[in-house]
Structure 1
C-alpha cells in the first residue's frame, strides 16, 4: 500500500518518538537496526524529513534524531502525503488516469468508499497514539 520509503519513514518516526520520550536522541545505526532498514536508505529519508520539519536532528557526541513534542500530533496521513503524494487518497483502484465520477472504472464506487475510510483512519492516527500503544505493548514495531 505504501512505498518502501514511506514504510521506513513511518517506522523510523514512530521509533524516534518512542525513544525520545526518555530524552534519548537516536543515531542512524540504532534506527536502522530497530526498524530493519538499510542505514544509507534511512539516513537519506530522515535527512529529508528533518529538512521538512517532521523530525529534528542534532550533531555531536550527544547528537541524533529526536522529535519535538508538537510533532507527536502529526498524522500518518501528513507523512504519507509528503512522501508518496496523495494518490492513495485520490487515485483509481485500477490505476487508470481517466477514472472519474463521470467516467468510472469497474472498481470506482467500491474503491471510493475504501479510499475515504483509509483517509479518515490515517488522518486521525497520530504519532503519539502509536507511541502510547507501543508503551502499553498493545502493538509492536519490530518486524
Structure 2
C-alpha cells in the first residue's frame, strides 16, 4: 500500500522518536541499520522528513537526527506519508487505473474507497508518539 520509501520513512521516524524520548540523536547509519534500509536510500528519505519539518538534522560531531519531545505527540503518521508519497494513497485507484472515479469506476472502486477512507482516518489519528511508545513498552516491534 505504501511505497518502500514511505515504509522506511515511518520506521525511521519511529526510531528517531524512541531515541528522542531519551534525549539521544541518531546517525543516518544507525537508522539505516535499525530499519534494514540501504544507507544512501535512508539519507534521501531523511532529507524529505527534514524538509517537511518532521525530524531535525543537527550537524557536527554530536549531530544526528532528533525530534522535539514535546512535539512527538502532535506528529501524525499521515504527515510522514504525505511527505514521502504525497496524497495519491487517498485518491488513487485500487487497480492502478489512470481514470477511476464515481462516473467511471473500476471493478473494486466502491469497496476500495471504503478501505482508503478508513486508512486515511487511521493515519490522521495515529501519532508518532503512540507508535514509539508501543515499541518502547514491547507491545509492538520495528524488527524481528
- Normalising by structure 2, report the TM-score: 0.93
Distance 1:20 1:81 in 2: 22
Distance 2:106 2:48 in 1: 36
Report whether the alignment pairs 1:89 with 2:94. Answer: no
Shift of 1:95: 1.4
Partner of 1:77: 78
Contact 2:52 2:83 in 1 (8 A): no
- Normalising by structure 1, report the TM-score: 0.94
Deviates more, 1:64-73 or 1:22-31: 64-73
Distance 1:5 1:72 in 2: 23
Distance 1:28 1:99 in 2: 39
Alignment of 1:40-51 (within 5 A): 40-51=40-51
Partner of 1:106: 107
Instruction: Please report the RMSD computed on the Cα atoms of aligned residues, expressed in angstroms.
Output: 1.2
SS at match of 1:5: helix
Contact 1:17 1:72 in 2 (8 A): no
Residue segments in structure 2 that go unaligned for 5+ positions in a row:
none
1:108-140 deviation line (CA, Å, top 9, x unaligned): 111111111111111111100001101111100
Partner of 2:57: 57
Shift of 1:51: 2.2
Contact 1:55 1:71 in 2 (8 A): no
Shift of 1:97: 2.0
Partner of 1:9: 9
Distance 2:75 2:17 in 1: 11
Deviates more, 1:67-76 or 1:19-28: 67-76
SS at match of 2:65: strand
Distance 1:118 1:10 in 2: 15
Residue segments in structure 1 that go unaligned for 5+ positions in a row:
none
Partner of 1:34: 34
